Amino acid sequence: MASHWRTTARTARDAILEDLDAAIARDPAAGSRREAFLTSPGLHAIWGYRLAHRIWQHPAYRLPARVLSHVTRAVTGVEIHPGATIGRRFFIDHGMGVVIGETAEVGDDVMLYHGVTLGGRSLRRVKRHPTVGSRVTVGAGAQVLGPVTIGDDVQIGANSVVVKDVPAGAVAVGIPAQVRAPVPGLEPEELLDHRSGHLDLTPGTGRSRRGPR
Ligand SMILES: CC(C)(COP(=O)(O)OP(=O)(O)OC[C@H]1O[C@@H](n2cnc3c(N)ncnc32)[C@H](O)[C@@H]1OP(=O)(O)O)[C@@H](O)C(=O)NCCC(=O)NCCS
């Protein structure tokens, strides 16, 4: 029994460290693990969600899971339904105003900015929220609505409204979002990496390329 709890504690600790490192890698304002641990509402939201999601797995405890979710929302401004499925190293920068619905599925290494909705367009109790691949970034205020599929490595522009599937590697911007073809040779991470380097606009591509300092 004691070894079970030791293993659980170690797993939880590893997951927290992984989340902290993911946050530091993606948030230029995050100074240290300690600072991120104490001050990042996005991290507090995901930790609250992870606990609520575990509780949600037991049908008898769904109400406590919803209550925990509600408390997390009050503290962080982020509402993640405990029934949603979210992968590893998920990060929400700034936190406030994010809503993730019950049947949403999110892959690994996904980053959302504040004000993002992964929401439904149907009131029926069916799969009604988006399925988001891995390494996806969703810009501030973007709304992804309905049971659409967002492929791996997609970038969704700030304030876009996505109501159709987006293929892997694409950039989707606007209302309704228009899908732009991926540019060969440009790493998706580079598009939003505002930690390092400046962006050099390359004419004719409609996309940014990182230039030398
Ligand atoms: C979508 C995004 C990833 C595109 O980055 P990019 O591939 O480097 O593309 P560019 O900036 O070169 O823009 C490409 C084109 O899309 C347009 N565009 C970019 N972002 C847009 C957006 N959010 N809404 C509408 N159009 C947008 C640009 O005007 C440009 O149009 P053009 O080809 O007609 O000139 C980026 O613009 C974005 O929105 N990132 C979100 C950042 C964010 O939310 N930050 C919050 C920090 S607190």
Evaluate if residue 211 carries a pLDDT over 50.
no
Residue 160 beta carbon below 6 angstroms from any ligand 1 atom: yes
* Measured CA angle at 177 (ends 171, 181), to 5 deg: 30
Q: Which two tokens stand for residue 193?
A: 């990496």
Residue 158 beta carbon below 6 angstroms from any ligand 1 atom: yes
Residue 116 beta carbon below 6 angstroms from any ligand 1 atom: no
Q: In this structure, which residue's CA is closest to atom 13 in ligand 1?
A: 207
Of the candidates 141, 91, 133, 136, the residue with the CA atom closest to the CA atom of residue 115: 141
Q: Domains, the chain, ranges and CATH?
A: 2-193 (2.160.10.10)
pLDDT digits (tens, 9 = 90+) for 89-124: 999 999 999 999 999 999 999 999 999 999 999 999
Residue 175 beta carbon below 6 angstroms from any ligand 1 atom: no
What pLDDT does 10 receive? 82
Could you tell me if 160 and 196 are in contact, meaning their C-beta atoms sit under 8 angstroms apart? no
* Segment 183-194 mean pLDDT: 54
